[in-house]
Chain A
Amino acid sequence: MAEISDAELQKLATLSRLRFEGSTLDGFRTQFDNILWLISQLKELNTEGVPPLTSTANLPSTPEREDKVTSSNNREALQKSAVKAEHGFYVVPKVVE
């Protein structure tokens, strides 16, 4: 069975911007190992030379649209859902000393 070390799991959590601690971590570990076991089954299958399928949309190219101003993305309307906004700007934790 595929297994992940505690250090790997914690690194992955940090990179995912998540935190697991104590009993939450133990429960999560077991389930994560089970999922790794599930997805590791693919190793049985020979896929040599098979191209990957990234999308079933079958579009010849990404459609483009005219670069013109529309009524969407109205700042005032969008910022009504803002966690914190002042003078039309989002207020975020200080990142520069």
Chain B
Amino acid sequence: MSRAIVTLSATQALSKLRSKEISATELTKAVLERAKQVQVLNLFLEITEAKALEQAAAADAAYAAGNAGTLAGLPLGIKDLFCTAGIKTTAASKMLAPFVPAYESTVTAKLWAAGAVNVGKLNMDEFAMGGSGENSAFGPTRNPWDASRVPGGSSSGSAAAVAAYACFGATGSDTGGSIRQPASFTGTVGIKPTYGRCSRFGMVAFASSLDQAGVFARTTADAALLLQTIAGHDPNDSTSAPLAVPNWVGELGQANLKGLKIGLPKEYFIDALNPVIKDAVMAAAKRFAAEGAELVDVSLPSTPYAVAAYYIVAPAEAASNLARYDGMRYGLRVEGNGLIETYINSRTAGFGDEVKRRIMVGNYALSSGYYDAYYTKAMQVRTLIANEFDAVFKQVDVLFCPTAPSLPFKIGAKANDPVSLYLEDAFTIPASMAGLPGLSVPCGTAHEGDVTLPIGLQMIGPRWQEGRLLQLAQAWEQLRGTFTTPFKIY
């Protein structure tokens, strides 16, 4: 395996494929070798080697014939909640361990249509419920920066595999921060677009009013390319927006920092924020100011209530969505004495602890007598959060804030304290609740002992302004200078 090949950016790799400097098969073999080498981090639930080599051969034929797609021959990883026809899709749950979908998710179908190569299905928190990657039924994912730490979650394998050079980019899904927080924890670029920008068709559902597909990459240009490929209206998803996809790749480099108004929401710079992270984010904002941007202090007063509201809305939707796992048609069935006992046996054996907690909380919040006190109240708070963002975006063009309040922590450190883990999402949940696009881009590193760990800068924009976020993240990469994730053998 050539380190020089696997550490290219996606954009560079595609350029070498187009110029026939390397073949898709050569590139794919190098990535597969790297993926197996770093599998000790538990990145992939399945490496789809035969499929990858078949797709690589097809890409080579397409290059030879002159009809190669925009991503032809590019090896990518897929979060294991995107259905892939004929390839196991488990959502990292025992419940779906035997499940082989008959159909393809829209997001992955678009990637394959553009010629991308499937390296494999990536580990994650079970049913996307978690912020550390530890809730997988198939073992925790480890952080490539320090294998004793979590890579964040729920898209743990996606973030870690991109950071560890086991693929050039990956799909993820973000319900309350599941792309942005692991991107921050692994030093990758992660973007969650506006709710409705990407189709949810074929994505295993967690909380349908919040779930949104997005991507991970090692550079903003790569993230723009991947997002542009998977975005767009899909009649198979009733919440998919009937909007054309802008040319985000073509618009890169157009950011005008002079006069740009950057909002710094005070509720995101609180005492609970690690001061090292605060300093890194503020330093980035000041670097923009030095280029002519204006820093504006703003307030989003309902922010402290966003986590509580989210942990009503998301579990309530999850409890409903996961009612389908009854062991009757697909997934796990554990026989019992009669129908009801079979349901109970199957669900008790099939779901992990966090999933059970959320189902219980969700059903509690939706139950008669509590519905208004919890569920309706949470939806009202959601309105307040969305309205406050709307008001702030009349004053500023973009918000800058930390992606996560803390650095990647040790595996097991928060295992028995779900609430402390929930609070890790405090800075990513509000944008999710309002359906806004958010992006995390590396803005520095911190040191804990002899360990170096990445820090993420979060940019939040108005609805449908993914292009603005991508332009600003790329402008930041130029101001910041090169940032690379460590290339290690574990």
A interface, CB within 8 angstroms of B: 4, 9, 12-20, 27-28, 31-32, 34-45, 47, 50-59, 62-63, 65, 72, 74, 77-78, 80-84, 90, 92-95
Contact = CB atoms under 8 A, between A and B. Distances in A.
Interface in B251-273: none
A83 B333 contact: yes
A55 to B, nearest CB: 5
Interface string B264-299: 000000000000000000000000000000000000
B380 A34 contact: no
B103 interface: yes
B404 to A, nearest CB: 18
A94 B311 CA distance: 37
B309 interface: yes
Most buried by A among B342, B356, B384: B356
A65 B239 contact: no
Contacts of A95: 338-339
Contacts of B365: 39
Interface in B355-413: 356-357, 359-361, 363-365, 367, 373-374, 376-384, 386
Most buried by B among A14, A34, A42: A42
Given A34-B419, A90-B328, A47 B348 contact: no
B254 to A, nearest CB: 27
6 contacts: A18-B348, A31-B418, A39-B361, A56-B195, A56-B435, A81-B99
Nearest to B354: A31
Given A38-B308, A93-B338, A52 B376 contact: yes
Nearest to B356: A18
A41 B357 contact: no
Contact of B238 (A45, A58, A62, A80): A62
Contact of A16 (B359, B377, B379, B382): B359
A65 B435 contact: no
Interface in B320-339: 326-333, 335-336, 338-339
B330 A81 contact: yes
B209 A55 contact: yes
Nearest to A30: B416
Given A16-B319, A16-B363, A38-B422, A59 B239 contact: yes
Q: 8 tightest A-B contacts by CB?
A: A56-B435, A52-B379, A47-B380, A77-B102, A53-B383, A53-B382, A81-B330, A50-B380
B473 interface: no
Contacts of A19: 344-345, 348
Interface size range on B against A: 35 or more
A34 to B, nearest CB: 5
B351 interface: yes
A20 B347 CA distance: 11
Nearest to A31: B418
Contacts of B347: 16-18
Interface string B433-449: 01100000000000000
Given A39-B312, A42-B305, A83 B329 contact: yes
A47 B384 contact: yes
Contact of A81 (B102, B305, B379): B102
A39 B209 CA distance: 19
B22 interface: no
Given A56-B434, A56-B435, A17 B339 contact: no
Given A42-B312, A42-B377, A92-B328, A57 B435 contact: yes
A96 to B, nearest CB: 10
Contacts of A81: 98-102, 329-331
A35 B135 CA distance: 17
Contact of B357 (A28, A40, A44, A53): A28
Contacts of A36: 361, 364
